[in-house]
């Protein structure tokens, strides 16, 4: 069944994905490699940006909520095709993910056997590792678990709303209200829960899913944003508001504060809104070919970058930090790109045939 809504393309979103993955890569470059001697006087400035690279995940969350909601807009006019959605997500997400879990499990079993057991393996396979504990080589997959929990629950929320309301307009209005309510609840829970003594809370779905919900709201309200904020002053206001929020998130050094996470997803929302209204600065930055190419393979790069670090630390432990970090960046991008253009592409082509 052809979906006009789902075919809508937003080139700048690939650029935002690139920003998010580069930010994450810089964070782990700073965590695992001694770059003070390499960067010299520039290091303090690099450190300010790199230390907050964990916030790149919140950009991914907003983008996911935005895009997944777009897939369901046509369904709101009729019925929610839950089975179809699950199957299509499976072909997109699972093959690369399980390949990384298998690779990480093998590396850990051979070189770090004390870090692996059946519990941790099955937790990663079932996407519950953000509640049960993370294997060191796969610590970054907590965010994949959050997205999977969202993918599981969101279609059923839409299904219930479709049963409660009869027209597409009524359904969309109720969905907006419910998402607002859920987002506020999650925000309040995070505000009162985050604590330096509870680092495991940082990766729990019920305390981080509001970033995805903001993306959902953006997509649901896209037409209103385009109509009401289309004038040039609003493009400028949204651009500077997003920039200010992002800077404030970067400058907040408290990992357990509620603010950096909230500011990042609000900044992302502002930037997307400005781009939807044709802000030339944002579009020029995010729609160039290099950024878009990186963005298209960002899922693969994200999955493979920590295993790349672990392998590098095994095979070149004494190489200069500058050389090692360049190898890390190059291999993360290269392995992620190869994985995306081979493994992911194979299963996406299969998806086209089996679940069109």
Kindly state whether residue 256 falls inside one of the protein's structural domains: yes
* CA 233 from centroid of its chain's CA atoms: 30
Q: What is the pLDDT of residue 229?
A: 67
Total domains in the chain come to: 1
Q: What is the pLDDT of residue 242?
A: 96
Alpha-carbon torsion (31, 33, 34, 40), positive or negative? negative
Residue-number span of the structural domain to which 37 is assigned: 11-294
Question: Per residue of the chain (356 residues), what is the pLDDT tens digit?
Answer: 334 444 688 999 999 999 999 999 999 999 999 899 899 999 999 999 999 999 999 999 999 999 999 999 999 998 999 999 999 999 999 999 999 999 999 999 999 999 888 888 999 999 999 999 889 999 999 999 999 999 999 999 999 999 999 999 999 999 999 999 999 999 999 999 998 888 899 999 999 999 999 999 999 999 887 767 667 788 889 999 999 999 999 999 898 999 999 999 999 999 999 999 888 899 999 999 999 999 999 999 999 999 999 999 999 877 778 899 999 999 999 999 999 999 999 999 999 999 99
Kindly state whether residue 315 falls inside one of the protein's structural domains: no
Q: What is the pLDDT of residue 6?
A: 44
Q: What is the pLDDT of residue 118?
A: 87
Kindly state whether residue 79 falls inside one of the protein's structural domains: yes
The per-residue pLDDT for range 165-215, each reduced to its tens digit, is: 999 999 999 999 999 999 999 999 999 999 888 889 999 999 999 999 999
Kindly state whether residue 313 falls inside one of the protein's structural domains: no
Cβ 123 vs Cβ 132: under 8 Å? yes
| DSSP helix/strand/coil, 126 | coil
Kindly state whether residue 112 falls inside one of the protein's structural domains: yes
Kindly state whether residue 59 falls inside one of the protein's structural domains: yes
Full DSSP string of 47-110: HHHHTTGGGHHHHHHHHHHHHHHHHHTTGGGS---HHHHHHHHHHHHHHHHHHHHHHHHHHHHH
Q: What is the pLDDT of residue 3?
A: 46
N-to-C CA span, the chain: 8
**104-143 per-residue burial string, b: 16 or more CB within 10 A, e: under 16:** bbebbeeeeeeebeeebbebbeebebbbeebbebbebbbb
Kindly state whether residue 312 falls inside one of the protein's structural domains: no
* CA 182 from centroid of its chain's CA atoms: 19
Alpha-carbon torsion (10, 249, 56, 331), positive or negative? positive
Q: What is the pLDDT of residue 2?
A: 39
Kindly state whether residue 63 falls inside one of the protein's structural domains: yes
Task: Measure the CA–CA gap between 244 and 242, rounded to whole angstroms.
Answer: 5
């Amino acid at each position: 069944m052809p979906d006009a809504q789902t075919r809508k393309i937003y080139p700048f979103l690939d650029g935002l994905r690139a920003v998010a993955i580069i930010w994450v890569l810089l964070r782990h470059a700073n965590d695992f490699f001694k770059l003070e001697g390499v960067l010299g006087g520039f290091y303090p400035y690099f450190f300010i940006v790199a230390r907050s690279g964990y916030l790149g995940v919140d950009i991914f969350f907003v983008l996911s909520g935005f895009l997944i909601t777009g897939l369901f807009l046509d369904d709101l006019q009729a019925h929610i095709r839950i089975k179809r959605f699950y199957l299509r997500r499976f072909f997109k997400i699972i093959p690369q993910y399980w390949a990384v879990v298998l690779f990480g499990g093998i590396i850990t079993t051979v070189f770090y056997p004390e870090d692996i057991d059946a519990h941790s393996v099955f937790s990663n396979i079932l996407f519950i590792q953000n509640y049960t504990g993370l294997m060191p080589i796969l610590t970054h997959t907590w965010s994949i678990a959050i997205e999977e929990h969202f993918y599981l629950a969101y279609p059923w929320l839409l299904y219930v709303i479709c049963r409660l309301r009869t027209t597409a307009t009524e359904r969309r209005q109720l969905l907006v209200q419910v998402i607002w309510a859920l987002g506020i609840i999650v925000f309040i829970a995070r505000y009162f829960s985050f604590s330096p003594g509870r680092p495991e809370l940082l990766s729990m779905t019920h305390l981080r899913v509001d970033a995805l919900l903001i993306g959902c709201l953006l997509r649901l309200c896209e037409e209103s944003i385009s109509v009401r904020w289309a004038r040039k002053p609003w493009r400028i206001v949204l651009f500077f508001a997003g920039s200010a929020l992002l800077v404030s998130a970067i400058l907040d050094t408290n990992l357990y504060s509620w603010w950096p996470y909230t500011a990042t997803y609000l900044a992302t929302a502002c930037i997307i809104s400005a781009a939807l209204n044709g802000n030339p600065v944002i579009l020029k930055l995010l729609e160039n070919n290099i950024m878009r190419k990186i963005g298209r393979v960002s899922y693969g790069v994200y999955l493979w970058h920590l295993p790349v670090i672990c392998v590098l630390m095994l095979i070149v432990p004494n190489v200069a930090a500058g050389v090692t970090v360049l190898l890390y960046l190059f291999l993360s991008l290269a392995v992620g790109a190869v994985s995306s253009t081979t493994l992911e592409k194979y299963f996406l082509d299969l998806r086209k045939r089996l679940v069109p």
